[in-house]
Structure 1
Amino acid sequence: MLDFLKKNFLFIVIAVAVVFILFLNNDKVKENDVHSNKVSLQTPAVSKEKEENVSSAAVVDVKGAVVNPGVYEVSLESRVNDVIALAGGFTKNADQTMVNLAQKVQDEMIILIPRKGDPTVSAAQSGGSGARKIRINYASQEEIETLNGIGPSKAQAIIQYRDEFGLFKSTEDLLEVPGIGEITLQNLEDRIQIP
């Protein structure tokens, strides 16, 4: 046997070296696979975190009688009052009675602060043809019933749809409400505001 080992020593050493190299390479491949899996598992978490940050903010356009009108990014938990504070507050001639300061903001919302004596405000208060727009996402049944072609049953259907499926994103979403067709929507478009 000793004689066999002496004659084949070189082959045995080479065979052990090959097995050793293969064993080390296999461990490195496994380590790289584990590292790749960790990276791929972490990637969705990072993108999910970004999505949560995006979805928890609203971009709001503040116009009219505020010190610094403009576009502001705020939390979706913010109220109109918070956004007006960011805009520097009301000017001296702002008509604060026409604004719901407690309303929660939503993305792409326009907050228009009228000035005292503004003709569009006077027309809205007197119920003239230039009456203010109804914010369909927040309007009461009575407010919705003031719209052309909307009676109690259609107003209730609008509110029920809004409660079940969430806020309307566009005027076309009203077509999903039972009883609202193209013609009714055309009559409403000038009198409703979304958001």
Structure 2
Amino acid sequence: MRLILTIFLSLLILFSGQFQIIDIQQHTKSMIHVTVHGEVLREGVISLKPYATLEELITFVGLTNDADISSLNLATVLHDKDVLTIPAKTSEKQINLISINTADFNALLQIPKIGEKTAQAIIDYRNQYGLFHSLEDLMKVKGIGQAKFDFIKDKICL
């Protein structure tokens, strides 16, 4: 008898509320907006479909002859409000800046004072929160404080 009463009360509670159909499309973004500058043919805010990759963005904006994408991870998934700088090819006398937004694990290890744990923390941060919007955002990564940032800020770019 208790079982029947429990089932009856459960069904009564379940069906007494109002239900409405939720359209998932209304709650997801139909476009993301990414700011791109540097060695591209089309600079500015670019609208792309969600989960677009860096490779799709580059195909869309085009590259100048001076663009250097050798250190970029083209499979990087872009997020809304990401900011990217496509670097130029440099002569050997110039310092090669490393992009904190697109560099892979090995490239991040080339930044002075960045070890394996910090390089992985940078990648984990990008995967969780998207690309960095400013160089100073790098200090949000565990293991990078003001002193370390001041030391490496002239060696990195977005």
TM-score between both structures, scaled by the size of structure 2: 0.59
Q: Does 1:79 align with 2:42?
A: no
Identify unmatched segments of 5+ residues in structure 2: 1-15
From the CA coordinates, give the structure whose radius of gyration is larger. 1
Letter of the 2:29 counterpart: N
Q: Does 1:144 align with 2:108?
A: yes
Give the equivalent residue in structure 2 for 1:102: 74
Q: Distance in 2 between matches of 1:161 and 1:63?
A: 26
Q: Distance in 1 between matches of 2:153 and 2:39?
A: 26
Deviation at 1:65, TM superposition (A): 4.6
Letter of the 1:160 counterpart: Q
Q: Which has the higher helix share?
A: 1
Question: Which ranges of 4 or more aligned residues in structure 1 deviate by more than 4 Å?
Answer: 163-166
Q: Distance in 1 between matches of 2:26 and 2:96?
A: 38
Equivalent of 1:173 in 137, 140, 143: 140
Task: Kindly report the root-mean-square deviation, in angstroms, between the aligned alpha carbons of the 2 structures.
Answer: 3.4
1:38-187 correspondence runs (5 A): 38=19, 41-42=20-21, 45-46=22-23, 49-53=25-29, 57-87=31-61, 89-91=62-64, 94-96=65-67, 98-99=68-69, 100=72, 102-107=74-79, 108-112=82-86, 114=88, 121-122=89-90, 125-126=91-92, 128=94, 131-148=95-112, 150=113, 154-162=114-122, 164-167=124-127, 169=132, 170-174=137-141, 176-177=142-143, 180-187=144-151
TM-score between both structures, scaled by the size of structure 1: 0.50
CA contact (8 A) 2:54 2:74 kept: yes
Q: Distance in 2 between matches of 1:141 and 1:127?
A: 25
Question: Percentage identity across aligned positions?
Answer: 15
Instruction: Give the 3 Å change call, closer, same or farther, for CA 111–75 of structure 1 in structure 2.
Output: farther
